[in-house]
Every structure is written in C-alpha cells, then in structure tokens.
C-alpha cells in the first residue's frame, strides 16, 4: 500500500494511493516531549503552537488559517512524548496548497517575540484546563508515579516556569537539535497527484541536515507496589492502575494488545462488564498499553464513586489477575483479535488514519509497516501467547496506583495495592 523514498537530507516520504476524493498531508518529527531537557520542559508542545503563528509569506496566524478554511480543510497538530505531527486533510484537488502551507509553516515560521509572549497565555490556560479535568489529568499523575523524574514522567504541556520564561532562543535550541532530516517523515495518503510528490521532494529538501543523538533512556526500577494521590475536591474519584509492560518494538506487543482488548477494550470487555455493568461502580473504565520505543506500561483507568473507590480498586485488580488463574477461552481471544482488526481496518480506510499509521511507524519505530502485515501479526497471536504475556506483565509486586480525589494522602490506599490480587496464584 505504501511507497517510500528518501531525500538527500534523509527526509523520508511515504505515499499511499486510495480511491477517494480527499487526501491528507501529514508531517511528523520523531521527537516529542521526552527529547526535552529540564529547562525545555513543554517547549515541544509550545513550538507546535508557534508554527501556526506566521511566516514571511503568511505573516499572521489568520493568513494561514484563511487558506485552509478557504478549501474546507481540516488542519491541526499534536505533540506526543516521542513524536510531533502537523497535518491538513482536504479535497484532493487542493493537496498542493496544503503541502505548501505545511512546508511554509515548518520551514519559515518567524517565532516572533510578540507572538511568543501572547501565546504564553494560551498555553498557561490550556495547562489550567487540563489540571481542572481529572479524567485527563489522572494520566499525568500516573506518569509522574511510574516514570519518576524522567522526561516520560513530565507533563507534555510542560512546567509553568519554563513556559513563562520561553524566548526565541529556547525554541531554536530545541528545534535545531531535533527537527532534522533524519527525524522527519512526510506522508501523503488518499488521491495523490504525482506532481504533489515532486512538490514535497522540492520543498522539504530544505529541512536541515541530520544530527546524531537520542532521547534519555527509560531505565526504571521498582521494588514494590507504589501509590500516589493528587488531592482535589471533586464528586468523583479518578484512578489509574498499571504495571510495567512491553515496548513498542517488542514482538510480543500484538499479544499484549489482544490481552488488553480482553481486559478493557470495549463494552464487552471483562472490566467494563464487571466494574460498570454488574457492580455499577463507574461510568467509564478502560485499559490501554502505553508503549514507547524502550519501555511501556499497561494501565487501567476509571472514574468511580468516591465512597466505593476501595471496592473498585479491589475489583479491578481481581479482574486483571483472574486471567492468570483462568486462561481466557479461545472464543474470547478470537473476539479480542477481531475487535483490534476491525478498528485497524476502519482506521486505515480514512486517508488521515492511513497516513498516521504509516508515518508513525516510520518516524518513531524507523520501519514502514503495512496494515496487512499488522493484521497478519494479530492473526498469528495464539491463546498461549496471550497467557504467556499475561504471566510476564501482570505482577502484583509491580503495581502502580494513581488517584485524584478528595483524599488526604496515600495511606488510605497503600494496603489495597496488590491485596486485591493476593489470592491469585502465579
């Protein structure tokens, strides 16, 4: 499905033709918040905002947005811990303009001092918004607990002092180091005119030359269960309960994904049925693997009744570790596999989803994985694989619990972590 070529400056260009009337241009840099040093914390995300604030040809943010609005396009960006991306999805006839806007933004943004000062207020209000949303902020509390004082444990949005003190030199120091050819992937998906591919080659040849180096490794150790409480007055408690898991490069990640789907992937998953449907302890409960190139974690998240949070923690642990005592039946493994395959097929039918799939594999994992290959790897997962990975990952002594709610300290929950699974043999 994908075609790939590499420019002289090591920028990789991948293309996927689809029989549709739309197209997506997506530029991803294989660098995100984990590439920051402490004095740069939040600058990857802040830079994402600043690329929309004006270039020499399009001096103001409105000059950029008017062009994309004028073609009815979808226009956005995102910052993760290992990547940052910028995209336009539009009618195929306007893809050339979309590529021109993206290349202009990413190569010629001014980072004007007045715009930087103005945008600081936007970032700080975004920070306040997330802090006031426990359903979102609970992941930050968990990451701080799990990763500790490491860039993976820092908030993507950064530290307030860094944001307030940011200037053009701080941005340029980060971007010159990480926004380089060897970390840049341009993806085109949908109905793509060959002339647009030539345009990409010409315009993105100007990305600076490659630089060596990599992010700080995620070397962590844990000697027993850990708990962290973020005290906040609320009518609902939010929790994240997780264990160390596999990296995004581990061959067993497909088996882990099937295990995750069994546990918390959808409305028929074990956690949803038990915690919400049978006991009515929550509105939402889900699980997901958070995988990075050198480490990972499997996390259950839920919003629960404050007065019944202890019961919720016990039940979640019981459901997690029950898979070690009673191996999931074959039909449950098959259902979980089909759940994942169905989601992948739906995702890559859309040009933006297809571009995101290919570009992320290329930018973060340095390989171009075809959707068909991913489907085949899911098909290859056996029931024994799921059980084996479950026994490797699900360890009561390595549990981590983060909680947001009106609780005084960690002591209320310290004895619960691990106890909810104590009767399960391993």
Length of the chain: 426
Count other Cβ atoms within 10 Å, centred on residue 367: 9
Joined tokens for residue 239 = 């929790």
Residue 43 near residue 234 (C-beta atoms within 8 A):
no
CB of 303 closer than 8 Å to CB of 238: yes
Question: Rounded to whole angstroms, how far apart are CA atoms 313 and 308?
Answer: 9
Give the count of beta carbons closer than 10 Å to the beta carbon of residue 132.
10
Residue whose structure tokens are 């902020």: 137
48 is annotated as an active-site residue: yes
Closest CA to 308 of 273, 271, 275: 275
Contacts of 277 (CB under 8 A, 6+ apart): none
Q: Is residue 413 within a helix (H) or strand (E), and if so which, with residue range?
A: helix 411-414
Contact 237, 305 (CB under 8 A): yes
320 Cβ contact partners less than 8 Å away, ≥ 6 residues apart: 241, 263, 300, 394, 421
Cβ contacts of 291 within 8 Å, gap of 6 or more:
245, 246, 247, 248, 250, 253
Dihedral (C-alpha) 46, 48, 54, 58: value to the nearest 10 degrees?
Answer: 180
Range list of β-strands (E), 169-324 = 184-190, 226-231, 237-245, 282-291, 296-304
From 48, 332, 361, 362, the catalytic residue: 48
CB contact set of 30 (below 8 Å; sequence gap of 6+)? 82, 83, 183, 184, 185, 363, 364, 366
Rounded to 5 degrees, what angle do the CA atoms 146, 297, 147 make?
25
27 — phi, psi (to 5°)? -115, 125
Catalytic residues, which ones? 48
């Amino acid at each position: 499905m994908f075609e790939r070529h590499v420019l002289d400056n090591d920028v990789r260009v991948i293309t996927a033709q689809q029989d549709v009337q739309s197209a997506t241009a997506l530029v991803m840099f294989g660098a995100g918040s984990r590439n920051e040093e402490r004095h740069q914390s939040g600058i990857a995300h802040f830079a994402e905002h600043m690329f929309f604030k004006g270039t020499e040809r399009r001096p103001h943010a409105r000059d950029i947005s008017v062009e994309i609005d004028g073609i009815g396009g979808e226009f956005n960006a995102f910052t993760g811990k290992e990547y940052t991306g910028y995209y336009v999805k539009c009618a195929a006839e306007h893809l050339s303009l979309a590529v021109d806007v993206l290349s202009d933004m990413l190569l010629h943004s001014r980072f004007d001092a007045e715009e930087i000062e103005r945008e600081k207020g936007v970032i700080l209000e975004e920070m306040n918004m997330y802090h006031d949303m426990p359903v979102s902020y609970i992941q930050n509390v968990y990451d701080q607990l799990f990763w500790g004082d490491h860039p993976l444990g820092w908030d993507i949005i950064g530290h307030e002092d860094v944001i307030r003190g940011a200037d053009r030199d701080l941005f340029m120091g980060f971007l010159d180091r990480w926004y380089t050819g060897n970390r840049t992937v341009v993806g085109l998906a949908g109905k793509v005119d060959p002339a647009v591919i030539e345009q990409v080659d010409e315009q993105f040849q100007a990305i600076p030359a490659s630089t060596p180096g990599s992010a700080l490794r995620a070397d962590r150790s844990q000697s027993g269960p850990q708990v962290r409480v973020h005290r906040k007055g609320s009518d609902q408690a939010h929790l994240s309960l997780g264990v160390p898991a596999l990296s995004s490069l581990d061959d067993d990640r497909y088996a882990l994904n099937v295990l995750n789907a069994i546990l918390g992937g959808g409305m028929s998953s074990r956690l949803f049925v038990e915690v919400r449907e049978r006991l009515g302890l929550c509105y939402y409960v889900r699980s997901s693997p958070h995988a990075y190139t050198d480490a990972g974690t499997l996390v259950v998240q839920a919003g629960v009744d404050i007065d019944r949070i202890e019961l919720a923690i016990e039940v979640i642990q019981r459901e997690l570790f029950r898979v070690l005592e009673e191996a999931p039946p074959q039909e449950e493994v098959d259902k979980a596999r089909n759940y994942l395959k169905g989601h992948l097929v739906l995702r890559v039918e859309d040009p933006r989803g297809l571009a995101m799939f290919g570009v992320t594999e290329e930018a973060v994992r340095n390989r171009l994985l075809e959707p068909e290959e991913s489907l085949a790897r899911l098909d290859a997962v056996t029931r024994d694989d799921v059980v084996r990975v479950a026994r490797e990952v699900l360890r009561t002594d390595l549990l981590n619990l983060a909680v947001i709610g009106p609780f005084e300290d960690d002591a209320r929950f310290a004895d619960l972590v691990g106890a909810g699974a104590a009767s399960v043999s391993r």
